[in-house]
Chains A and B, each alone.
Chain A
Amino acid sequence: MIRSLQRSKAYSFSFNIFIFLYFLFLFAPLIVTMILAFNDSMFPSLPWKGFTLDWFFGRGPEKYGIFHDAINLRSIYNSFKVAVAVTILSTVAGTMAAFLFEQEDFKFKNLLYFLMLAPMVIPGVILGISILMFSNTVGLFLEDVFGIYVKLLSPGIPLVVLGQFSFITTIVALIIIARLKKFDRTLEEAAYNLGANRLEVIWFITLKYLRPSIIGGAAIAFLMSFENFNTTLFLVGPDATLPITLYLQVRDGSTPVINAIAFLLIVVSSTIAVINLYSGKKSTY
């Protein structure tokens, strides 16, 4: 904070108002969404008709709360499955990519690094369609030549996992690389010197050091996967994920059950966010 600057009252005041408006802008839609989850109305809008928990626990016949809404529960389950798979795969691959680009030297390293960054600037929609087309072509090829039908290659949960993995891994890798850049490699040399082999060095020293960033990367991977829409849209099969089902409901209009889902998502993801931020700050070395 710069204290020494002389500032006019009006300047400070208008700056504070600006920041206040900015945060209002940031939170207004979320807060209204959350409040309306408890409105005893059939529509997600005002006027306020009284407090209810029906949009969470209602069993019908009029109001089906989220915990009794089979379609939405199903899609949450699908999203969860996808997110767990993507988190595990992209965390493992992202860690390996971090080691590869930070600790190894090889020909065409810069080219490969450039390629790894590419998903950051390729629109998710295009990632989705290109993977869709490629898997379709490979599937047709396998069917024509070997007469085998590979279910994995047609739209569905495995393909969604692969599609999300393709760009989330880049993000995880960048998070881990950022920390690995700060790593003092003499720690590894010290461990060798004390008799550890390469595997022990990685396990006891480097991965221990990277742990906060690996956990942080995994948390971000989970949330990004759980919420992904653009790439998923083209790869999803009959088992829709939550953003896809929610999208249809938002587009076509729905009861405040969406608000209830939104409420839960906001609470859960901000909790993960705060924990992640807090634990990230706490790591001392």
Chain B
Amino acid sequence: MKIALSVKNVSKYFGDFKAVDDVSFDVEDGKFFSILGPSGSGKTTLLRMIAGFYTPSEGKIEIQGRDMEGVEPNKRPVNLVFQNLALFPMMNVYENIAFGLKRRGERGKVVREKVEMMLDRVGLPGFENRKINELSGGQKQRVAIARSLVLDPGVLLLDEPLGALDAKLRENMKVELKKLQAKVGTTFVYITHDQSEAMVMSDYVAVMNHGHFEQVNTPQNLYNSPASSFVAQFVGDNNKFIVKIQKDERGNFSAVTKDNLQFRLDKPYDLEGDNIFEMYVRPESIMINPKEDPNKINSIEVEVKAILFDGGNSRILVVPKNSEKEIMVSLPQNRKYDYLRPKDTIKIGWYHSASVCFKGTGERVYEEIE
């Protein structure tokens, strides 16, 4: 497979501050690659280095096999869809899309044909003479993408382009963007802080934090086997337990919370130092009143504290007996547990293999459930 973009050991300092810290990755031609991270993680800096607005302090960026060092942003085979879209308000839709073509010296019929074809592609045929401020948010989005795609870039960079849209429209645009990428076959490098955007659209996702990549993998693998505490918290939802891991005489590993709840683990862990770990269990992995083999699952008795109805994403909040630790549990969609009421006592359980532990870093991502 051809490599469209290759980033090799790139770092960027702003004074003493290390915004991007030794990042390396390759993006194959035609893939949808996302960089997912909270704000301030350095993802915009990384993108701006690829686009050429910043020069890396260290490392090398290659686009389609060409070293980009010293190449001005207007000479790079990449185009960027800006966060605020940056459509030229003094030009109409046609002039916006034709801008890059004209800078290349293309003139006349070719330009018109390309612009029309592109508008067709993004679903805005006949919009040539519209003014920018007459467009809706979603239409502006498409024009911004069309303006970059018409130049047939080696890599299309997208800087949180859906950020400004309202929630419903954002859902639609996610799907559209994914379909558009499949249709045109251009390599997309997409940055976002929204894990759902990254998961839905991407072939590969890089999770970025404090200037470095925590993990690069397919959305499924990120979800199923997070490589770090940060990824476990940032991708999808998770229940977090602070635990002490022990090994019994038969070589089985188990985790104990400070309330003396004990959970079996199915993997060995390196035990040294204080043995304090963070254990994660997804709300979706937790079963209510499990009927599975008790030897394969951890099961505890809990009291229902609240029922959080949210359509397809409904959960219950439960607290184990003799503990204050709140646990989120997903409710299945089959209305099987409609009878549950607060203060009910139920059993919950999860497979030993459903929990994953990491050596504690003490870092908090969003509001933790502790």
Inter-chain contacts of B88 with A (CB < 8 A):
187, 190-191, 204-205, 208
Interface string of B35-53 (1 = CB under 8 A from A): 0000000000000000101
Q: Is the CB of A194 within 8 A of B84?
A: no
Inter-chain contacts of B87 with A (CB < 8 A):
190
Q: With A186-B84, A192-B74, A194-B79 as known contacts, state yes or no: A284 contacts B133, CB within 8 Å.
A: yes
Does any Cβ of B come within 8 Å of A184's Cβ? yes
Interface residue from A184, A195, A197 paired with B151 (Cβ < 8 Å): A195
Q: With A191-B99, A195-B104 as known contacts, state yes or no: A186 contacts B74, CB within 8 Å.
A: no
Does any Cβ of B come within 8 Å of A196's Cβ? yes
Q: Is the CB of A190 within 8 A of B74?
A: no
Q: How far is the CA of A285 from the CA of B90 in the complex (A)?
A: 7
Find the A residue at minimum CB distance from B84: A186
Does any Cβ of B come within 8 Å of A193's Cβ? yes
Inter-chain contacts of A284 with B (CB < 8 A):
89, 133
| Residue from the set A191, A192, A204 with the largest chain B CB neighbour count within 10 Å | A192
Chain B interface residue count, CB cutoff 8 Å, equals: 26
Inter-chain contacts of B193 with A (CB < 8 A):
none
Q: Is the CB of B90 within 8 A of A208?
A: yes
Q: How far is the CB of B72 from chain A (nearest CB, A)?
A: 8
Does any Cβ of B come within 8 Å of A143's Cβ? no
Find the B residue at minimum CB distance from A195: B103
Inter-chain contacts of B82 with A (CB < 8 A):
186, 189-190
Does any Cβ of A come within 8 Å of B80's Cβ? yes
Inter-chain contacts of B290 with A (CB < 8 A):
none
Q: How far is the CA of A213 from the CA of B83 in the complex (A)?
A: 27
Does any Cβ of B come within 8 Å of A209's Cβ? yes
Q: How far is the CA of A193 from the CA of B87 in the complex (A)?
A: 12
| Contacts across chains A and B counted by CB atoms under 8 Å | 67
Q: How far is the CB of A174 from chain B (nearest CB, A)?
A: 22
Q: How far is the CA of A186 from the CA of B133 in the complex (A)?
A: 17
Q: How far is the CA of A197 from the CA of B103 in the complex (A)?
A: 8
Q: How far is the CA of A284 from the CA of B47 in the complex (A)?
A: 31
Q: How far is the CB of A1 from chain B (nearest CB, A)?
A: 27
Find the B residue at minimum CB distance from A196: B103
Does any Cβ of A come within 8 Å of B100's Cβ? yes
Q: How far is the CA of A191 from the CA of B104 in the complex (A)?
A: 12
Q: Is the CB of B147 within 8 A of A194?
A: yes
Q: Is the CB of B90 within 8 A of A209?
A: yes
Interface residue from B53, B89, B100, B132 paired with A194 (Cβ < 8 Å): B100
Find the A residue at minimum CB distance from B95: A204
Q: Is the CB of A189 within 8 A of B86?
A: yes
Q: Is the CB of A197 within 8 A of B74?
A: yes
Q: How far is the CA of A284 from the CA of B103 in the complex (A)?
A: 26
Query: Which residues from 47 to 76 on chain B have a C-beta closer than 8 Å to any C-beta of chain A?
Result: 51, 53, 72-75
Q: Is the CB of B133 within 8 A of A285?
A: yes
Find the A residue at minimum CB distance from B79: A193
Find the A residue at minimum CB distance from B83: A186
**Interchain residue pairs with CB less than 8 A apart (24):** A184-B84, A186-B83, A186-B84, A186-B86, A189-B82, A189-B86, A190-B86, A191-B99, A192-B53, A193-B74, A193-B78, A193-B148, A194-B79, A194-B103, A195-B103, A195-B151, A196-B74, A196-B103, A204-B88, A205-B88, A209-B89, A285-B89, A285-B90, A285-B132
Chain B contacts to A: CB under 8 angstroms: 51, 53, 72-75, 78-80, 82-84, 86-90, 99-100, 103-104, 132-133, 147-148, 151
List 17 additional A-B contacts (Cβ < 8 Å) besides A194-B151, A196-B99.
A184-B86, A187-B89, A190-B87, A193-B79, A194-B79, A194-B99, A194-B100, A194-B103, A194-B148, A195-B74, A204-B88, A205-B88, A205-B90, A285-B89, A285-B90, A285-B132, A285-B133
Chain A contacts to B: CB under 8 angstroms: 184, 186-187, 189-197, 200, 204-205, 208-209, 284-285
Q: What 4 A-B pairs have minimum CB-CB distances, sorted nearest first?
A: A194-B100, A285-B89, A190-B86, A195-B103
